[in-house]
Amino acid sequence: MRILICNDDGVYSPGIVALAKVASRFGEIRIVAPDVEQSSMGHAITSSRPLRYRRTPLPGGFDAYRVNGTPADCVALGAFGWKRVDLVLSGINLGPNLGSACWHSGTLAAAKQATLLGLRGIAFSTAVAEKEPDFNSLEPYVEKVLKLLLEKKNMALLNVNLPRKPKGILWTRQALRQYDGEVVPGQDPLKRPIFWFTVRPLAGEEKGTDRWAFAQNFVSITPLRQDLTDEKSLAQALALEQGKAAAKSATPTPVRQKRIKPKSKRKRGSKHNVPP
Ligand code: MN
C-alpha cells in the first residue's frame, strides 16, 4: 500500500514524523507537505503562481518533500508525482480540529483533497498545551485507529482527534451548535487598530459529538462526506417548483388536476382570507 502523508503545520513539524512512523507499519510512505506552516488555510489551492517541491531530510529517514503551497496543493502534487496512491493521511496536527474548526482546518483539507481526487483521506489532530504532545504515548492509538479505518473501505473521509491521554475510541458526529472563533481588537505600535481572529475556549459539549468525546478524553472518529447539499431544503424547493409547474400546465392529467386544485384554493383562501 502506498500512503501519502501531508499536514498543515509544515514539513518540519514533529507531528508528521510521528504519523509517518506509525503509517510505515502499514505500507510504503511518502511525505509531501508545506514548506512553512499553513494552519487555518482551509482548502485553499495555489492558482496564481507555480508550485515546486524539494526533497528534504527528516528524522526517521522518510522519503519527504517540501512544497511552496497549501496542504491541498501538497496532496494534489503528491498524488500526481507518485502515481498510484492508496491512502492519504494528514497530521498529526498540533491542536484539535473539532466542530466548526473543520471549515478552517488545513489538516482536514488535505484529507478532503484526497477524496476530491478519488482517494481515501484521514486527518489526525491532537491536543497541544505548553508542552509538545507526547507522540510516543499516542502511537498505539494512532495504530489502533488506522487498523480500524483501513477495514472500513466505504468510508472515504475521516476526522480523527486524539486527546492528550486517551482512554478509548468513540465514533462521533461533528459538533455544530458552538463556534469558537472570536475577533479580539488591539493596537499596533503606531496605535492603529489591529484584530486577531482567534479561539475562545468553549464550555459545554453535546453528547455524541467530536467535542464531547475529546473533552471526555476519548479518541474521536467522525466520518465526513463531500456532499454539502441540504437535502431537506432541496426536496422542499423541488416540490414547490413541481407544484407551480403543474398548476401552470394547460393540459394537466386528470390525476394531477385533482391533487393540485384543492391545494391552491386552500392556500389562497387561508392567506388573504378573501375569495380569489
Ligand atoms: Mn495546524
Cβ atoms of residues 164 and 146 within 8 Å: no
* Res 12: pLDDT: 97
Distance CA 162, CA 71 (A): 20
Q: Is the pLDDT of residue 267 over 60?
A: no
- Domain check: are 238 and 155 in the same one? no
Q: Say what the alpha-carbon torsion angle 104, 110, 115, 118 is, to the nearest 10 degrees.
A: 150
Q: Say what the alpha-carbon torsion angle 148, 150, 153, 157 is, to the nearest 10 degrees.
A: 90
Q: Is the pTM of this model over 0.75?
A: yes
Q: Is the pLDDT of residue 275 over 50?
A: no
Q: CATH no. for residue 10? A: 3.40.1210.10
- Domain check: are 126 and 168 in the same one? yes
Residues with CB under 5 A from ligand 1 (ion): 8-9, 39, 93
Q: In terms of residue numbers, what domain contains 256?
A: 231-272
pLDDT, tens digit (0-9, with 9 covering 90-100), for 27-69: 999 999 999 999 999 999 999 999 999 999 999 999 999 999 9
Ligand 1 center from residue 73 Cα (angstroms): 15
- Percent with pLDDT over 70 in the chain: 90
Residue showing cell 384543492:
262
Ligand 1 center from residue 148 Cα (angstroms): 24
Ligand 1 center from residue 230 Cα (angstroms): 29
Q: Is the pLDDT of residue 256 over 70?
A: no
- Domain check: are 205 and 240 in the same one? no
pLDDT band of 252, cuts 50, 70, 90: low
- Domain check: are 115 and 161 in the same one? yes
Angle CA 43–81–76, to nearest 5: 10
- Domain check: are 207 and 235 in the same one? no
Ligand 1 center from residue 147 Cα (angstroms): 24
